[in-house]
């Protein structure tokens, strides 16, 4: 059962544009929603994360928008740069002993110069 | 402060063989989680070790096993390798079972032929 659905699978944006990646979750027990960035040959690196008590969180050019009632959250990358070209994963975790991450399937972002 | 280091970086094994992957956690982290990332997919949780004991397990068969040592480093063992075990294996360390977020290593690329 895929508990976190991510779209689009791939995204091409011009330099300076806005990149938007969307995720939807099913399990209402999730209470932590991070986004990870992964470059080829590297492990995922935490980019930004949000908890459901806020609707938006901004860190630099990266913003998470969170809609609890719709069970959706999205990543917005403002002023996208070629260096942002990577694979982005949304994830979710819920309270429990292990607090493991449930990942989406990933979005490959290409920012054209 | 050192990050998470994994070894080896690449490995080729034959179907039916056994493999051991190693992970050194980030300084100050006492929890290690292992994830399997198939090509083009998001990472999937295998299991987590906290204070040298398995603390949670994903949907993986018993031939996937692990250890955590007193210095918090960890091993992932896979017996009776199958072709579908070919993947990037990621180790992630954290403090106290993941409540403070995870730091991922660069992974071990396992190819089963």
The Cα–Cα gap between A108 and A113 comes to 16
Shortest Cα–Cα distance, B107 to chain A (Å): 6
Match 């917005």 to its residue by tokens.
A76
Between A96, A99, A104, which is nearest B42 by CB?
Answer: A104
C-alpha distance from residue A92 to each of A79, B16, B51, B72 (Å): 26, 34, 24, 25
Reported as a single tens digit per residue, the pLDDT across A35-77 is 999 999 899 999 999 999 999 999 999 999 999 999 999 999 9
Between B44, B90, B97, which is nearest A43 by CB?
Answer: B90
Q: What is the token pair recorded at A79? A: 């002023």
- What is the DSSP annotation of A63-99? EEEEETTTTEEEEEESS--GGG-EEEEEEEB-SSSS-
Q: How confident is the prediction along chain B (113 residues), in pLDDT tens digits per residue?
A: 579 999 999 999 999 999 999 999 998 889 999 999 999 999 999 999 998 999 999 999 999 999 999 999 999 999 999 999 999 999 999 887 766 689 999 999 999 99
Let me know: does A71 contact A24? Beta carbons within 8 Å. Answer: yes
A69 contacts: CB under 8 Å, gap ≥ 6: none
Shortest Cα–Cα distance, A1 to chain B (Å): 11
Q: Do A89 and B99 touch (CB under 8 A)?
A: no
A60 burial level (CB within 10 Å; 0-12, 13-18, 19+):
exposed
Between B48, B103, B106, which is nearest A100 by CB?
Answer: B48
Name the β-bridge partners of A25.
A4
- If DSSP codes are grouped into helix, strand and coil, which group holds residue B80? coil
């Amino acid at each position: 059962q895929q508990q976190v659905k991510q779209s689009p699978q791939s995204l091409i944006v011009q330099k300076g544009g806005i990149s938007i990646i969307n995720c939807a979750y099913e399990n209402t027990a999730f209470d932590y929603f991070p986004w990870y960035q992964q470059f080829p040959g590297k492990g995922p690196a935490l980019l930004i994360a949000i908890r459901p008590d806020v609707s938006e969180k901004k860190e630099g050019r990266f913003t998470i928008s969170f809609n609890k009632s719709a069970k959706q959250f999205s990543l917005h990358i403002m002023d996208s740069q070629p260096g942002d070209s990577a694979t982005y994963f949304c994830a979710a975790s819920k309270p429990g002993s292990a607090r493991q991450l449930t990942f989406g399937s990933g979005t490959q972002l290409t920012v054209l110069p | 402060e050192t990050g998470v280091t994994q070894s080896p970086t690449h490995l080729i094994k034959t179907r039916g063989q056994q493999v051991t992957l190693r992970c050194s956690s980030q300084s100050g982290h006492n929890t290690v989680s292992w994830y399997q990332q198939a090509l083009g997919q998001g990472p999937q949780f295998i299991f987590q070790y906290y204070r040298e004991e398995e603390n949670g397990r994903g949907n993986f068969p018993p031939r996937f096993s692990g250890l955590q040592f007193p210095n918090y480093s960890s091993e992932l063992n896979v017996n009776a390798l199958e072709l579908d075990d070919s993947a990037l294996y990621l180790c992630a360390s954290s403090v106290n079972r993941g409540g403070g977020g995870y730091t991922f290593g660069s992974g071990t690329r396992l190819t089963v032929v």
